């Protein structure tokens, strides 16, 4: 049986972003986990314009090639991890825009978060995002990775090293999602790497 597809969505599109480094770090661990086919979805590469569809996404009546491509991409995913910064105490515009484009593609699917930023580690953005994804009937995991003062983990070559206190153990969360292409409900377990400030 094929493995569920975990899409790791890089939310930041900024030149010089740290989001790519954080995503590389997480993707390596997700692949070692072995329970998923891991696919990276980089919003900088997807390069969506501001939402320009005339119809509500719930109608699934798309008129633009970029929307059709985006719909195909997200439909492949059974579960998602958003690697996300915090901008002005909230989610970054590129992520909100990308989410708003679609509806049924997200529905009933599991989602978790690798957030980062300054003192809050992106948690305020995650809380805001949870309100948004509830409108889409997505299923958030309670466990997540939180990286406060994220630059402390990134070396000059762009590598990331997160020292895990010896008493910390990877957090394990179980979730189920509807899956893509009409697959029936399936369970997935994700061992999230423990990180300082993680919960
Ligand atoms: C427009 C903007 C707003 C920001 N607002 C916050 C914030 O509210 N809280 C925070 O912890 N960091 C904030 N930061 C700092 C970011 O956490 C930090 O720049 C991080 O590297 C952004 O992620 P990125 O490099 O992947 O885009 C902000 C950065 C930018 C560019």
Task: Name which residue sits closest to atom 18 of ligand 1, judged by CA.
Answer: 117
| φ, ψ for residue 116, nearest 5 deg | -155, 165
Neighbours of 142 (CB within 10 A): 9
Instruction: Give me the residue spans of the domains in the chain.
Output: 5-192
User: What are the 10-residue block averages of pLDDT along the chain, 199 residues in total?
Assistant: 95 97 96 97 98 98 98 98 98 98 98 97 98 98 95 90 64 51 43 47
Superfamily of domain 5-192 in the CATH hierarchy = Flavodoxin domain (3.40.50.360)
CA angle 85, 89, 94 (to 5 degrees): 45
The mean pLDDT of the chain is 88
Of 10, 18, 87, 93, the residue with max ligand 1 atoms within 8 A of its CB, to mutate for a pocket test, comes to: 87
The reported pLDDT for the residue numbered 162 is: 85
- C-alpha distances (whole Å) from 57 to each of 6, 51, 134 are 23, 10, 15
User: 164 C-alpha to center of ligand 1: Å?
Assistant: 24
| pLDDT for the residue numbered 182 | 42
Is there a contact between 136 and 99 (Cβ–Cβ < 8 Å)?
yes
């Amino acid at each position: 049986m094929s493995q569920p597809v975990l899409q790791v969505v890089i939310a930041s599109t900024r030149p010089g972003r740290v989001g790519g480094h954080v995503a590389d770090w997480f993707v390596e661990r997700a692949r070692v986990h072995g329970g998923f086919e891991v696919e990276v979805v980089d919003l900088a590469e997807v390069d969506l314009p501001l939402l320009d569809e005339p119809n509500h996404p719930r109608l699934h009546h798309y008129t633009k090639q970029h929307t059709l491509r985006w719909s195909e991409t997200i439909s492949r995913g059974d579960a998602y991890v958003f690697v996300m910064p915090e901008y002005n105490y909230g989610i970054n515009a590129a992520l909100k825009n990308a989410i708003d484009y679609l509806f049924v593609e997200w529905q009933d699917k599991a989602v978790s978060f690798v957030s980062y930023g300054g003192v809050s580690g992106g948690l305020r953005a995650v809380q805001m995002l949870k309100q948004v994804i509830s409108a889409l009937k997505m299923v958030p995991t309670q466990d997540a990775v939180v990286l406060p003062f994220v630059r402390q983990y990134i070396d000059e070559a762009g590598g990331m090293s997160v020292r895990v206190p010896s008493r910390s153990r990877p957090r394990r969360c179980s979730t189920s999602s509807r899956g893509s292409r009409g697959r029936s409900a399936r369970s997935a377990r994700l061992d999230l790497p423990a990180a300082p400030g993680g919960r």
